[in-house]
Structure 1
Amino acid sequence: MNQSSLHVLAFGAHPDDVEIGMAGTLAKLHNEGLKTGICDLTLADLSSNGTVDIRKKEADAAAEILGSTIRVNLGIPDRGIRLDNEQISKVVTVIRTYKPKLIFIPYQIDRHPDHGWCARLVEEAVFSSAIKNYRDTENLPSHRADAVYYYFINGFHKPDFCVDISETITQKIASLKAYASQFSKADSDRVETPLTNGYIETVEARERMMGKEVGVIYAEGFKTARPLLLDSHGLGVNQ
């Protein structure tokens, strides 16, 4: 593996999206010695609470908690994610730079339109990244990721597979609490949003429920873009 390569690269529309959906998995993979990274598409410049500078600091703190090798931000306007050549090229450059084996993106069915747009944009970039003659912003060599998986942000969906995060749930909660501007209870100087009313507790309850579905304490659920191919080990068959 190239020194700059990652095993896993997770994309989110805003800083904190990846943490909500799969912080426990990222921490678990890091603890197992794998290299992980996060790419935020926007600076969340339209956030009701906090500022761009505050959210940058919070995002860096959360990434450190999770052991992420890199965290980059593409500076796409908040609520301005679109399927145009400029944005696709930016995402392709990130994919080709870090050459991830696995890419994670938000599940498209979500109350926030940006999360669906993020998924669609990265899907386009994943395809273009593998095309030899496609030119990104840096004219980098093509790269084909092994697989794309979808994580959940808002809502509770039936997963195609789960990851046991019982040992890293504390890191997940800590990474979410790093975003004090978003998840702290609203006071007189802040706007009340869905995130300021027990959102972290809701996420924790979801992961506990997901864990109950697969027989562990806590789990994060994921959807697949295509069927999984399993061997006897993956099927849980032991000799």
Structure 2
Amino acid sequence: MSGRSIDILAFGAHPDDVEIGAGGILAKHSTLGVSTGICDLTAGDLSSNGDIKTREVEGERAGEILGLTARHRMGFPDRGLTGSLEQINAMVNLIRQWKPRIVLAPYWKDRHPDHTACSKMVKEAVFDAAIRKKAAEAGMEPHRVSQVYYYFINDISEADLIVDISEVYSQKREAILAFESQFIPGPGRADTPLNRPTYLAMVEGRDQLWGHQIGTSHGEGLVSETPLRMDRVV
């Protein structure tokens, strides 16, 4: 990926986080010719089901379904997102390399501590990526992201922006189910909140609720920490 830019870069703490919260957005923009990428901070190696290799294969399959331009794995330890200088700098370097216009991150309130840690780390990395002197020290060019949006994984809140994903919803559903080890119960698999029928029903119900709010069948809600600019209202 060296030297190639990505228009939309979505960060997740674990493989499948982005698919749950923003898979439709990535699929829709990919069909429109927009370059998209996912960065998984961890391999989800502490998950009750699956292993590192299984989740990697599932992630590649999900990426193909969503039409991703690239997927990167940071390899940070699961439940070890400390926000250390080393971890932040690795994220900064990826942002400077891929030069995204838009960055997506998990919403800063979530029941999983890794999701909230990822949210905070993305905010720091986006900020540091634009600092010219820090870039010079690393022998890289600074990069300023145009906008950061936050997507939802386990929860729901009032959205600042809702994207219509009705036409690509089957792709989102298929991309989530590509993580078979996580969402499909089977012999030898532990019972978890993710592979109970209620979890995927919650995700789709939430997407239907957002879709209803904008007059479509399905939508994905995003939150912005900064005001959204509009040059005119009509």
Q: TM-score, normalised by structure 1?
A: 0.94
**Structure 1 Cα separation of the partners of residues 211 and 114 of structure 2:** 27
Equivalent residue, structure 2, for 1:192: 191
DSSP 3-state at the match of 2:167: coil
C-alpha distance in 2 between matches for 1:137 and 1:59: 34
Partner of 1:100 in structure 2? Answer: 100
* Separation in structure 2 between the aligned mates of residue 10 and residue 121 of structure 1, nearest angstrom: 13
One-letter amino acid of the structure 2 residue matched with residue 111 of structure 1: R
Q: Distance in 2 between matches of 1:16 and 1:193?
A: 15
Deviation at 1:213, TM superposition (A): 1.4
Pairwise CA distance, 1:133: 1.6
Cross-structure match for 1:210: 210
Change (3 A) 1:139 1:3: closer
Alpha-carbon displacement from aligned partner over 1:132-188 (angstroms, at most 9, x marks no partner): 121599632111110110000011211011000000100000000100000002x34
Deviations 1:100-158 (A, max 9, x none): 00000000110101000001111111111001121599632111110110000011211
Distance 2:3 2:228 in 1: 28
Q: Secondary structure at the match of 2:134?
A: coil
Contact kept, 8 Å, 1:210 with 1:219, in 2: the verdict is: yes
**1:144 is aligned to 2:175:** no
Counterpart position of 2:12: 12
State whether residues 39 and 73 of structure 1, in contact with CA within 8 Å, keep that contact through their aligned partners in structure 2: yes
Aligned length, in residue pairs: 232
Residues of 2 paired with 1:201 and 1:42: CA distance? 26
Letter in 2 for 1:192: D
8 Å contact 1:92–1:136 — kept in the other structure?
A: no
- Cα distance, 1:231 vs. partner? 2.3
Question: Which residue number corresponds to residue 55 of structure 1?
Answer: 55
Q: Which residue of 2 aligns with 1:220?
A: 220
Give 3-state SS (helix, strand or coil) of 1:167's partner: helix
Distance 1:147 1:156 in 2: 21
Q: Which residue identity is paired with 1:99? A: K
Q: Which has the higher mean CA deviation after the structures are superposed, 144-153 or 192-201?
A: 192-201
Per the alignment, residue 165 of structure 2 pairs with 165
Please report how far the alpha carbon of residue 3 of structure 1 lies from its aligned counterpart in structure 2 after TM superposition.
5.9
Identity %: 46
Q: Which runs of 4+ in 1 moved over 3 A?
A: 135-139
Structure 2 contact 30–36 (Cα < 8 Å) conserved: yes
Aligned mates of 2:136, 2:109 — CA distance in 1: 29
1:3/1:28 CA distance change after superposition, 3 Å: farther
3-state secondary structure, aligned to 2:220: strand
| Structure 2: 5+ residue stretches without partners | none
What is residue 87 of structure 2 aligned with on the other side?
Answer: 87
1:114 corresponds in structure 2 to 114
Letter of the 2:47 partner, please give it.
Answer: S
Across the aligned residues of Structure 1 and Structure 2, the Cα RMSD in angstroms comes to 1.5
Residues in 1 aligned to 2:71 and 2:65: alpha-carbon distance in whole angstroms = 12
